Each structure stands twice: as structure tokens, then as C-alpha cells.
Amino acid sequence: MIPAQLDFASLAAAYRAGLKPRDLFRHLLRLAQDDTRQAWISLLPEERLLALADALEGRDPATLPLYGIPFAVKDNIDLDGLPTTAGCPDYAYQPAESAVVVARLMAAGAIPLGKTNLDQFATGLNGTRSPFGACRNAFNPAYISGGSSSGSAVAVALGQVSFALGTDTAGSGRVPAAFNNLVGLKPSCGLLSSRGVVPACRSLDTVSIFTLSAGDAAKVFAAAAGYDAADPFSRPLQAHGRGFPAGDAFRFGVPRDDQLAFFGDTINPALFAAAVASLVRLGGQRCEIDFAPFLETARLLYGGPWVAERYHAIKDFIERQPESLFPVTREITLAGGRATAVEAFAAAYRLRELKRSCDAVWSELDLIITPTAGFQPTIAAVEADPIRLNSDLGYYTNFMNLLDYSAVAVPAAFRPDGLPFGVTLFAPAHQDIPLLELAARWQADSALPLGTSDGLATVEPGLAVDPTAGGRVRVAVCGAHLSGLPLNWQLTQRGGRLISVCRSAPDYYFYALAGGPPQRPGMVRVNEGGSAIDMEVWELPSERFGDFVAGIPAPLGIGKVRLEDGSEVCGFICEGAAVPSAEDITAFGGWRTWLASRSS
């Protein structure tokens, strides 16, 4: 039986119950052929599609992470067997092979249904700039779908595929997600190979992922990501830093009220305020930030020489056949041909300055939340005013790749008019996995329907991100390394961040060791008669943990400390030989309390 929703969990359950891949893909092909939203440009021939499905017969689904998962490919990404048009029929070519990212997904068991509509040459955030027709919103066909990855988002929202590939240069993988009630992962640039992708701004482009849930996005990301030595812009995933597991506090930034823009929309401001409150409910601490440098960075994208990259990407074609381009696309692209090298250097220098200002927030914040888009216009409105409205749609998105950040767009609410509203969570590069972890918790908390479905699906409550695998080590401190005390700088200067204030399990004797300054405490674990000790848990980059430990003088060392919740982390322990000359301060329950008793 074909499931009503195509999230990965529902589809896996259907396969276990006896659904054959051939039956699923024959059904999905019929849905896609009835294309009332103009989401598709081309579909794989039925014979080839069913051959791919039949090839899964007899395979153990456990051996393929994306077994029988249907997906769509934005038509600026090569798929063997179908032409790549980039939204321009005269530009079309027949690729010799699929793009690297497509090949990796197919090797994991996923099957592509076809190629989706887009703003021509990925130039636009609205989905109307296509000779194949304006792609229509999945909830209300009078409204824009968002772009440029328009058809990819609509196909997922309508239940025609489980996930889709888009691209994102200025917001194309996030705005369509917000307008169609989807998760949109804009990975850190370079983590997904761009070989086999028609570039827009090659130095900024990234392949993006649309799914119904954050957990599904994480599975696609895991299968698709990987260093590609043949792609000069590829890079491996680095240590991502901290995660956002339930119970951990985190700090998030919100632009000042006077820097939020909704472009005349009177409903979305309250929905964004509610979204901020939801993040607080998940354990976040709201911190107001100055959004000005982010906004100035956004203005560089189309006011600076990066438009020249769009011109460079199709220079030979646009000079030879300018009439083949959609009028507004031609106007924007040709403007890039007038940029000078002097302007390029000036913009590059200013970007360095702005990035320094923007990056300064990460010493105090774990992520930032914004609306994904402040408003959602109708197709008619965009066609009447294509440049200004498209620019307004990029208010919260255009800076992201210039600053080299990772981002996840997540559904936040439904408006009274039935249209969805979404927000974006973003953080520095390589934070993709932690952001998806938080997005999964967000979805579990919000309990919104997936895509255009009527019912709810089970959303994974978390992705269990391992801080060690992410290049962070947690260490519990109980003495002079506590916040505000003399040795705390040894943590902060190594990039440490405070995770929690807690207590140990009631299994320790606590001593003030002889010597100093500063005087140091010693914790000794005992089988009975111990007490709980006040502690802080900090997180250090893995590469700085070794030199931190190397500086710890005897009789102290690092071992495993059990916390009050039963978990164990690295923490300070003391050699038993130091106990006879130490003062037993267990009764005070903590270093600060003992220090206060001495000064009173």
C-alpha cells in the first residue's frame, strides 16, 4: 500500500509491509505527469524508471541507506538520460553522466523521478522566471513557489517525491522551503560536490536539499556529502562544534526590532515572535543583535561584482544568443558584464571587513534565527514588479554564502490565509549537523503537518549528535576554572564555551589541596559516604584539549566524572596521595561556597 506521506519513515514502513518499488514509482510518475503546478521540466521514461526500481528487488533495504527513496533533481544539475536546460531550452545539453551528488544518492538506493522547474539559470528567488511557466505554490496556485529551486520544493510538498535537490546561491534552497512548508538545508559551501552543476555564482553556489523532516535531510546529507578532488571548490566536512541536544542551554541571536522587515505584511511579525518564543522553549536564551553588517553584506551580492560571476558562467551563450534568455534574467546577467576588476577588489575588501564584524557574534552565540522571507507575494505581483520584489525576498538570505555560513529553513506556522510561514536557523560553516539536530527538535515541538499532507508524521526528536565526533570535548570543572575565577581564561582562550551549571553525582569527597596560588580543589570518588559537588561543564575544541590537559599540574589530572544525571564527562580528578595533606571541604558542596566561607 502506497503511504499517504512520503517521509522516509512512512516509506520504509510501507516497504516492510510489502510495497514494491515498481508499484510506488509507477504511481509517482502518474502524479508528476498531472503537473498542474508546473513543477517539472522532464521525467525519466517509464521503462528506465521501472528498471531502476526493479534493480532494488532482492536487495536488503538495510544495506542501502536510501533504499527506494524517490527524489527530484533541479534542472541545473545533470541527470544521465535527461537534458540539462537550466531553465533555458536553447541552452540545453545532454550530459554524459549524472552530477556527482546525484550519482552518490543513487548509489545509496535513491531513484530520481526527473528534472524540476527553476528560475532560469538559477537567477531569482520567486519561481516565475521560467519559459516552462511560473511554478505555482503548493498551497495556493495564485502565489509564488519561491525560487530559484521552485519545482524541487513543490514536488516534495505535493508528495510526488520524498526529497529533492536544489541549488542555493542567494536563498534558492530556503525561500521555496518556507513557502511550501518544508525543511530546506543549505549546506556549508563545498560539502556537496558541484561537479555536474550549471553554476550561477560558482564561488558561492551550493547544492541544497528539500525534505519533509530534518531527520530525512540529515540522511540525504550523509549520503550526498563527501570531498571531491576533481571539484576545486569542494572541501571536507570539518569538526562541527557543539550540538543542541535536549537539556542543553544555548544562546541564539535575533535582529533588533527596527532591523526586522516584513514589507507591509501584518501577519508574519507575530508569527516570527512566536517562533522566537518556541526556540526559548527548546532551551534557548534570546540575545538581541545588530543585524546591520549582515544586511550590508546582503547588498553586496547584487550591488557588487558577484553578478559578474553569473555573466561569466554563461558568457559565451548570452553573447551568442541573448534573445534566448528570459527578459529579466537577461537584464540582470548582462549587467554583470560591466563590472570592473577595481570594483571586484573593492567589494572583496569590504566583504572581509563585514565578515569580521558578523563573525564577532559567534563568541557569544550558538546560532541566529530570522524569518526565511518577510512576505510572500502573488505571481501577478512579482510579474508586475520583478526586480524590487525579488530583491525584498532576499533580505534574510543574500548574505549567507558570502559569509560562509550553514543554514536550515524550517516550517514555523500556518497563516490565517492557509499559507505557511518559515524561519531560518543559521550558524558558522560546518554546523550543518547540529542545526539539523535542533531543527528535528523544533519539528517535534511544533507538530505541524508535513508538506501539504493532512496528517502528522512521526518526526525524529533528535539526531544524537556526538560532540566528540564534532570535534568538541566536554570537560567538567569544579575549582579555579569556574566562570569568573582565576583560571577560567585557560578555557575561554582555547575557544571553550560554557554548556551547563550542574552538580556531580553524590559519589565524591572534596578537598582543598595544599599549595597555590591559586589554590586548587581535588575530587576523589568513593564507594559510600560521598556528596554532590557544584560543577560547570565546558566544551573545548578537540585540537585544544590536549594542550589544556598538558598544563594541569600534579596531583590533578583528567578522568571521567559522573554527573547528577548519571552521564559521564571528562573532568578533574585527584591522586589519592594528595589527600592526607589536604583540607576536607566536602561539607561545603562546592568551591565557591568554600571560598565565600573563608572571606566571611
Residues labelled as active-site residues: 74, 148, 172
Long-range Cβ contacts of 65-68 (<8 Å, 24+ apart)? 65/108, 65/109, 65/219, 65/222, 65/223, 66/105, 66/108, 66/109, 66/110, 66/219, 66/220, 66/223, 67/12, 67/15, 67/109, 68/11, 68/15, 68/21, 68/24, 68/109, 68/110, 68/111
Dihedrals phi, psi of 592, to nearest 5 degrees: -65, -40
> What separation in angstroms does the CA of 89 have from each of 112, 117, 316, 323, 402?
21, 12, 16, 12, 30
555: cis peptide before it, omega within 30°? yes
Work out the number of other CB atoms within 10 angstroms of the CB of residue 265.
17
SS3 category, 61? helix
38: left (phi over 0), alpha (psi -120 to 50) or beta: left
Query: CB atoms < 10 A from the CB of 261, how many?
Result: 18
CB 467 within 8 A of CB 567: no
Residues 6+ apart with CB under 8 A from 453: 4, 5, 159
Single-letter amino acid code for the residue at 95: P
Cell of 215: 531527520
* HSE toward the beta carbon, residue 332, CA cutoff 13 A: 26
The C-alpha atoms of residue 489 and residue 356 are separated, in whole angstroms, by 23
Cell of 67: 533504499
d(CA 297, CA 418): 33
Q: Which residues, 6 or more positions from 554, have their beta carbon under 8 angstroms from its beta carbon? A: 575
Secondary structure (H, E, C), 102-168: HHHHHHCCCEEEEEECCCHHHCCCCCCCCCCCCCECCCCCCEECCCCCHHHHHHHHCCCCCEEEEEE
How many helices and strands in the chain, by DSSP H and E?
Answer: 19, 19
Calculate helix-pair angle for 46-54, 21-33, nearest 10 degrees: 150
